A and B are shown apart, each in its own frame.
Chain A
Amino acid sequence: MATAQTTQEKENEDWSLLPLVHDIIKCMDKDSQDVHQELAKLKSKIQEAREQISNMPGIDCSPQEQQQQLCTLREQVRTKNQLLHKYKGLCMFDVPKAS
């Protein structure tokens, strides 16, 4: 449980831009020359996030729509399973091979 929570926090931290903004402000306060490097980091982080978003599967619809689609698919599988079960329960025919 604790491990899962830590992983979740890590994931959240991974996508937060605030630490980078904080580093930039600190550098500006100190008049450090590293501010350009920190700015580049922020820019690359944003770019990385954009690429990640464009490659993520299944986010072309809202969660509600996705849930509906999932329910529909589950219902389809259930119905088709029932149909197959019904067909297989019917009398079996020995289809003679064409000679």
Chain B
Amino acid sequence: SYDGGESTKERLVSVLDDLEVLSRELIEMLALSRTQKLPQPGEDVQILEVLVQRDREFQELMAVAQSQGKLHEEMQRLEKEVEKRDSDIQQLQKQLKEAEHILATAVYQAKEKLKSIDKARKGSVLSEELIKYAHRISASNAVCAPLNWVPGDPRRPYPTDLEMRSGMLGLMANLPSNGVNGHLPGDALAAGRLPGQNTHTHRCTLVGRLRGDAPSSSRVRSGFGASGTQQGERGGRGKHELNLIFILNCITGWTTRVTKPQLRSLYLRFCLKNVP
């Protein structure tokens, strides 16, 4: 009878051991019976019957073992297939993860863009005003000092103390808007940079309006920093461009929203309007 828990190898070895013992016993018994001339009918027949039974069992088990060998080959083939599928699935999983990451980033950026668009719509500014303002400050040494500037020359580059104090940083620090460090509000007028009080008021109003959209002071700071690095450039075209960039920086965060081609377009429009 077959015991399901025992492996085929164990059963084969066991049956082979039985065969070996039984055949030896049979041969020894026959040899003994011949030397002693003692007939032992029955016992040798019993051994022979068990031997035949075990031999048949051994052959059956060998057939089973051979079929198991074939199944083993099939299992090895399936195992290789499983490994290959696992590798494919892992590859696909990796690609899906990458796609998820890209989509998540795209969604985040799109949301940020929508927020920016919304903010821009709420505080829209006419490009004409920007161009006018750029022209005004570039025409009065507002961005960079004149080439022949020396200490003591009241024509200082933009921003003056007055303008700094009227901006968001000044308001945050609660600084007085005039009479500090010897720079009076009249400095700007005296330097001829502001064509008149009306213009100054208009500019302050415009800048104030634009700055009112500022989401944070850090952006204001970054705007000034960006303009500061660009003050080294001089010259007509570069100057106008710098003025535009400076204004946009002052508007806080516009550098992230206004692309370079848009800026160039604004500049070209400005140039076309100012052709003599």
Contact = CB atoms under 8 A, between A and B. Distances in A.
Interface of A: 8, 11-12, 15-18, 21, 24-25, 28, 39, 42, 46, 49-50, 53-54, 56-67, 69-70, 73-74, 76-77, 80-81, 83-84, 87-88, 90, 93, 95-96
Interface of B: 4-9, 12-13, 16, 19-20, 23, 26-27, 30-31, 34, 51-52, 55, 58-59, 62-69, 71-75, 78-79, 81-82, 85-86, 88-89, 92, 95-96, 98-99, 102
Nearest to B8: A59
Contacts of B6: 62
A61 B12 CA distance: 12
Given A66-B72, A70-B75, A77 B81 contact: yes
A80 B85 contact: yes
A87 B92 contact: yes
Contact of B95 (A8, A11, A18, A93): A93
Given A21-B26, A59-B8, 6 more contacts: A15-B59, A28-B27, A28-B31, A54-B9, A57-B72, A84-B92
B9 A53 contact: yes
Top 3 closest pairs, chain A to chain B, by CB: A58-B72, A80-B85, A93-B99
A21 B63 CA distance: 21
B98 to A, nearest CB: 5
A75 to B, nearest CB: 10
B19 A46 contact: yes
A96 B102 contact: yes
Given A58-B71, A95-B95, A84 B63 contact: no
Interface of B is mostly: helix
A60 B34 CA distance: 43
B12 A66 contact: no
A76 B52 CA distance: 43
Contact of B82 (A50, A53, A63, A80): A80
B55 A17 contact: yes
Contacts of B12: 53, 59
Given A24-B27, A57-B72, A59-B8, A83 B89 contact: yes
A64 to B, nearest CB: 5
Contacts of B73: 57-58
B238 to A, nearest CB: 30
Contacts of B81: 77
A63 B62 contact: no
A77 B86 CA distance: 9
A28 B274 CA distance: 131
B102 A25 contact: no
A49 B31 contact: no
Contact of A84 (B78, B88, B99): B88
Contacts of B74: 70
11 contacts: A16-B59, A17-B55, A25-B27, A49-B16, A56-B69, A57-B69, A66-B71, A66-B75, A73-B82, A90-B96, A93-B98
Contacts of A95: 95, 98-99, 102
